[in-house]
Amino acid sequence: MKKIQVLLALLLLVNLGASAQDAKAGAVLDAMSTKYKNMKTFTANFSYGAISASGKKGRVRTGSIAVKGVKFKLNMAGQEIYNNGSEIFSYVEETNEVNVTEYDASADSQFSPANIYSIYKKGYKYTHKGTATIGGASCDLIELIPLKGNGNIQKVEIGVSKSTKEIKNWKLTDGSGKVTAFDIVKFSPNVTLADSYFTFNTAKHPGVEVVDLR
């Protein structure tokens, strides 16, 4: 579940506000925020892997995410998380078990992909770190550092396409100094997604154990 939480924290890095922020970085983030806020839905496929001190990427894994308003579905590391706006389903493929909890909108936090455009304004200092070509696209590099001590995250560097204002990749440095890189492989805005897509379907998982924690 830790990997899932790390990804959620990252897929959400897009709103932060404080005085003495980097104006250039803020302009990039604001443009990105507007881009995502205007989308009714989006889906993305991504790859991720640890990066060694020498810059070499380790084993590469893949995942996917779909977002529609507060609803989302995330597949990553053998886990599936669904939020249909009233319930959250956390399914672990290896154990064929799903935990069901109630979704509380008033308690919504940074660990929700639905907040992708509203996180950078709360609790991070942002700095423009230059530009780079990522996946063939010219990108601005923005560094986010927690304003308060955060044992899970030291910093995050995100690459934002200059032309589309979409996130192309990000690198997370955790509390131990480990760096994990995430790359967007495919991004599709405003796709058609039925509300039922965001509810776990027990019929598709024969023998699944349902643990109702509501």
Q: How far apart are CA 98 and CA 33, in angstroms?
A: 33
Length of the chain equals 214
CB atoms within 10 A of CB 163: 8
Mean pLDDT, contiguous 10-residue spans, the chain (214 residues): 54 45 91 90 93 83 92 92 94 96 70 61 87 95 82 85 93 88 93 97 95 92
| CA angle (113, 119, 125) in 5-degree steps | 145
Residue 65: what pLDDT?
Answer: 93
Residue 111: what pLDDT?
Answer: 45
Residue 63: what pLDDT?
Answer: 93
Instruction: Report whether 7 contacts 76 (CB < 8 A).
Output: yes
Residue written as token pair 């995430």: 182
Residue 151: what pLDDT?
Answer: 64
Residue 40: what pLDDT?
Answer: 93
Which among 83, 12, 3 is positioned nearest to 44, based on CA atoms?
Answer: 12
Residue 19: what pLDDT?
Answer: 43
CB atoms within 10 A of CB 184: 19
| Pair of tokens at residue 8 | 């959620």
Return the half-sphere exposure (C-beta side, CA atoms, 13 A cut-off) of residue 45: 4
- Give the helix ranges, DSSP H, for 12-130: 23-37
Residue 37: what pLDDT?
Answer: 86
Residue 114: what pLDDT?
Answer: 57
Q: How far apart are CA 32 and CA 165, in angstroms?
A: 5
| Pair of tokens at residue 37 | 């806020």
Q: How far apart are CA 169 and CA 161, in angstroms?
A: 9
Residue 129: what pLDDT?
Answer: 96
Enter the pTM of the model. Answer: 0.80
Q: How far apart are CA 97 and CA 182, in angstroms?
A: 27
